[in-house]
Amino acid sequence: TQTQTQATAAASGSRATERFRENKQSAAGTGTERVALLASRVIKAINDAVLEEKVSYDEYNAFKAWLIKVGEDGEWPLFLDVWVEHSVEQVASEHRQGSKGTIEGPYYVPGAPALPSPATLPMREREQGTPLLFQGRVTNVDGEPIAGAQVEIWHADDAGFYSQYAPGLPEWNLRGTVIADADGRYRIHTVQPAPYQIPTDGSCGQLIAAAGWHAWRPAHLHLKVSAPGHELITTQLYFAGDSHIGDDIASAVKPELILAPVPRADGRGHEATYDFALDPA
C-alpha cells in the first residue's frame, strides 16, 4: 500500500521526537546528588561491560557511530520506550491496587476527539481488519462505577501503522477519547490491530538485525483510563494466541493484560470485554 511504501524510520522517528518535546518536557527539578548518583551508575554500567567483555576500539567506534545515528533518525523515543520504559513503569506502578498498567510507548497523541459511549473510532471508509467491539466498565478499587470516566484509546491499523506517525492516514485514525456512561460502561467499535514491527530501516532496526533479535511486538490496544480523583492508568491490552505474546521486544506484556476476543453473535468480527479499576489519587 501507499502507507507501507512511504513509511520510513526517519519520518516516524522525527515525529516521535517532536511530539516528545511538545508534551513531555518537564522541569524534573532533580537535585545534584540524585543526578550524580544516576549518571555515575549508568556510566559505571557501561564501563563494567567494556572491561568485562574486553571491548575493542572497533566495537567502541561502532557503538559511537550507532549512538550518533539513533539521534539522527530521531529514534531515541523508540529505543528508550522499547528497551527501558518497562522498568520505569514497574517502579511507577508498584504501589497500585487497581488494574495493571504498562508502557505508553512512543505513539501517544493527546487530545484525540471526545466520543460518547457507545463510540466508533475514527476510521477510513474501508478500514481493513477484523471488526472489534471492545467494551467494559470503569470502577474504583471497591468496584463502584465511575460515571463519565475517560477511556483514551489509540492503536495501529491492520498494516501495523499509527496515524500521525505514518504518512497517508487521516489525522485521528483509530484514536479517540471515549466517555463512559453513567454506569461507567464503555463500548468501542474499532478493528483489530496487526502486530507491530519496529522499523527495520532505522538504527533500532539495525541493532536488532546485528544482534539477531526479532523486531516484533504483539498486536495491542493502547489506553489511558482516567477520572477526576483517581490515578490515571496507562496500559496496553493484547490478544490471546498472538505469537509474540511471549517474546515482546518491548517487554510490556503482563498476564493480566491479555484479552480473549470471541466471535460476535451477529457474525461481525469479535468482541472483547475488559474492566478497569482505578486507584484513588
**Which helix (H) or strand (E) element contains residue 119?**
strand 119-120
Q: Name which of ligand MBD, Fe ion, none residue 103 binds, using a CB cut-off of 5 to 8 Å depending on partner kind.
A: ligand MBD
Assess contact for 85 and 108: CB atoms under 8 A.
no
Considering only residues 84-113, where is the footprint of ligand MBD by CB under 6 A?
Answer: 103, 105-107
State the cell numbers at 227.
477520572
* Pairing outcome for strands 185-191 and 131-140: antiparallel
Asked whether position 217 contacts ligand MBD by CB under 6 A, the answer is yes
- The dihedral region occupied by 136, where left means phi > 0, alpha psi between -120 and 50, and beta the remainder, is left
Select 221 or 278, whichever has its Cβ closest to ligand MBD.
Answer: 221
Binding mask 21-60 for ligand MBD (x = CB under 6 A): ----------------------------------------
What binding mask, one character per residue, do residues 159-198 give for ligand MBD by CB under 6 A, x or -? -------------------------------------x--
Instruction: Provide the β-strand partners of residue 120.
Output: 189
Contact between 105 and Fe ion per CB under 5 A: yes
Scanning 8-16, 97-105, 129-137, 181-189 for contacts with Fe ion by CB under 5 A, the matching segment is 97-105
Is 261 near Fe ion (CB under 5 A)? no
C-alpha cell at 55: 571491548
Residue for cell digits 519496529?
198
* Residue pair 9/75 in contact by the 8 Å Cβ criterion: yes
Of 257, 185, 256, 244, the closest CA to residue 217 belongs to 244
Question: Is residue 76 part of the contact set for ligand MBD (CB under 6 A)?
Answer: no
User: Pick from Fe ion, ligand MBD, none: which does 231 bind, CB < 5 to 8 A by kind?
Assistant: none
Decide: is 224 part of the binding site for ligand MBD (CB under 6 A).
Answer: no
Separation CA 278–CA 134 (nearest Å): 18
Count residues contacting Fe ion (CB under 5 A)? 1
HEC profile of 151-166? EEEEECCCCCCCECCE
Binding interface with Fe ion (CB under 5 A) = 105
- The residues of the shown chain that bind ligand MBD, judged by CB under 6 A, are 78, 81-82, 103, 105-107, 196, 217, 250, 252
